[in-house]
Amino acid sequence: MKSDASMKRIAVFASGNGSNAENIIRYFNTGAGAPSHGAEVVLVVCNRPGAAVIDKARALGVPVSIVTREMFNDEASMMALLESRAIDAIVLAGFLLMVPPFMTARFSGRMINIHPSLLPKFGGKGMYGRHVHEAVVAAGETETGITVHLVSDHCDGGDIIFQASTPVAPTDTAADVETKVHALERAHFPAVIARWLHPSE
C-alpha cells in the first residue's frame, strides 16, 4: 500500500446510473481504512436527486453530495465542498452538467472525463449517453470506443490521456454498441485513473 502522503483523494461526479462510479469505488476503496491503487474515492457529487448512482455510492460507504445546478455553478459553494474533503482530483463519470470555468481553472490538469466514443469523433454538444451510440450506428462506423481526457473549457476537447476501441458489426444496434462500450469502460477506466494519478509507477 502507498504511504498516506501519496494517497490521492478523488471526487467522482456522476448524474445517472453510476456503473462507472461504482466500478471506480470498488477498485480504489477496498474496505474500511484500506484504500488501494494509490487513491481513494472520498466523495460523489450528483446533480440528479433520483439517480441510481446515489444509492450505489452510499452502499459502498462513500458520501454523496446532491447539488443543484445553481450550487454547482457557484464557486464559493463548490470550492467549500471540495476543500472540506481535501479533493486532489475530480473524475467525471457520466456527469451531464457543463463544468464551470472556475472549476476547470482550479482543477486544471487534475480533472478527467470519460467519453463513450473515439474522440474527436462523436463528441461535443448533444453527444452523450445513447445519442452517441445511435450516431455511431447511423454513420456506419466499423469501430467505436472510449476516450479518457483532461477537462478543459471546450466540451469534450481536453488533452486525450487514453483510448481503447471495439469493433462495430453491421448488425449492431445502439444498445449493442452501448454494451460493448460499457465493457471497455469497466475494463480500463479505473486503471487509467490510477496511472494518471501516479504516472511514474
Q: How far apart, in whole angstroms, are the C-alpha atoms of residue 34 and residue 43?
A: 16
- 40 binding ligand GRF? (CB under 6 A): no
Q: How far apart, in whole angstroms, are the C-alpha atoms of residue 90 and residue 106?
A: 11
Cβ contacts of 178 within 8 Å, gap of 6 or more: 116, 130, 133
Indicate the burial class of 151 (C-beta count within 10 angstroms; 0-12, 13-18, 19 or more). buried
* Position among 2, 9, 19, 66 found at the interface with ligand GRF (CB under 6 A): 19
- 116 binding ligand GRF? (CB under 6 A): yes
Minimum distance, C-beta of residue 15 to ligand GRF, in the bound complex (Å): 7
Minimum distance, C-beta of residue 17 to ligand GRF, in the bound complex (Å): 4
- 100 binding ligand GRF? (CB under 6 A): no
Angle of helix 52-59 versus helix 19-28 axis, rounded to 10: 10
Backbone angles phi and psi of 39, in degrees to 5: -160, 165
* Position among 35, 38, 94, 190 found at the interface with ligand GRF (CB under 6 A): 94
* Position among 129, 163, 166, 176 found at the interface with ligand GRF (CB under 6 A): 129
- 123 binding ligand GRF? (CB under 6 A): no
* Position among 39, 87, 185, 193 found at the interface with ligand GRF (CB under 6 A): 185
Indicate if 133 belongs to the active site.
no
In contact, 90 and 114? CB cutoff 8 Å? no
Residues that bind ligand GRF (CB under 6 A): 14, 16-21, 93-94, 114-116, 129, 181, 185
